[in-house]
Amino acid sequence: GENVEQHPSTLSVQEGDSAVIKCTYSDSASNYFPWYKQELGKRPQLIIDIRSNVGEKKDQRIAVTLNKTAKHFSLHITETQPEDSAVYFCAGRGPNRGSTLGRLYFGRGTQLTVWP
Amino acid sequence: SAVISQKPSRDICQRGTSLTIQCQVDSQVTMMFWYRQQPGQSLTLIATANQGSEATYESGFVIDKFPISRPNLTFSTLTVSNMSPEDSSIYLCSAHQNPGVVTEAFFGQGTRLTVV
């Protein structure tokens, strides 16, 4: 099955700086890559996603880039704020086959801390 | 996007007993998934709940321990059977509309289970 690796496991930045989290995946047939933000004690919330036919997507301070050749994708947060502090998970959706089609494979998560 | 109501939000249970967690979606969804999340860890898929057929379990998880029901396209339950302290964790359900179309996966608010 798909294997998603995520780095770094922890990231500390000063307010206003940028933060970058990187993920790699193993299955070239994967076609959908969401990013989730999980605050302490809360459910994961989708913050941005990208499909395999797109190289980059932006939503205000958040952007995701995808390099299909290298099989990696990255989350970029600019002008970070203390409320961006949370755990961020990348995920890849495996190819549509079998009885588990559509399942997500999650990275290990990145604890982002933004210092005021 | 759909909304998932998951209950209970938390419970403290005696070892040897069973707990059933319920997830209700406000719209019909094709695929539902059950995850376990240990504190500070990523999401581990337990099983995929398919309407009209048996659930598909991931390696390390078995039906006798985690029986799942999926009676219709808006509801699913996960039972944690014969609990031990090692089952203490957060359990999350997730769903998305149609695996044939790339759509967002959304989560219930989670069930924090403590086994004593």
Per-residue model confidence as pLDDT tens for chain B (116 residues): 678 999 999 999 999 999 999 999 998 888 899 999 998 899 999 999 988 788 999 999 999 999 999 999 999 999 999 999 999 999 999 997 655 555 678 899 999 999 99
pLDDT (mean) for A60-85:
97
Q: Are strands B4-7 and A32-38 parallel, antiparallel or unpaired?
A: unpaired
Determine, for residues A32 and B102 on separate chains, whether the beta-carbon distance falls below 8 Å.
yes
Q: B96 exposed, middle or buried (CB, 10 Å; 0-12, 13-18, 19+)?
A: buried
Determine, for residues B102 and A89 on separate chains, whether the beta-carbon distance falls below 8 Å.
no
Determine, for residues B42 and A51 on separate chains, whether the beta-carbon distance falls below 8 Å.
no
Number of CB pairs, chain A paired with chain B, less than 8 A apart = 53
The pLDDT > 90 percentage for chain A reads 79
C-alpha to C-alpha distances, A103 to A5, A10, A114, B45, B106, nearest whole angstrom: 16, 26, 31, 9, 12
Q: Which of A43, A106, A109 sits opposite B110 (nearest CB)?
A: A43
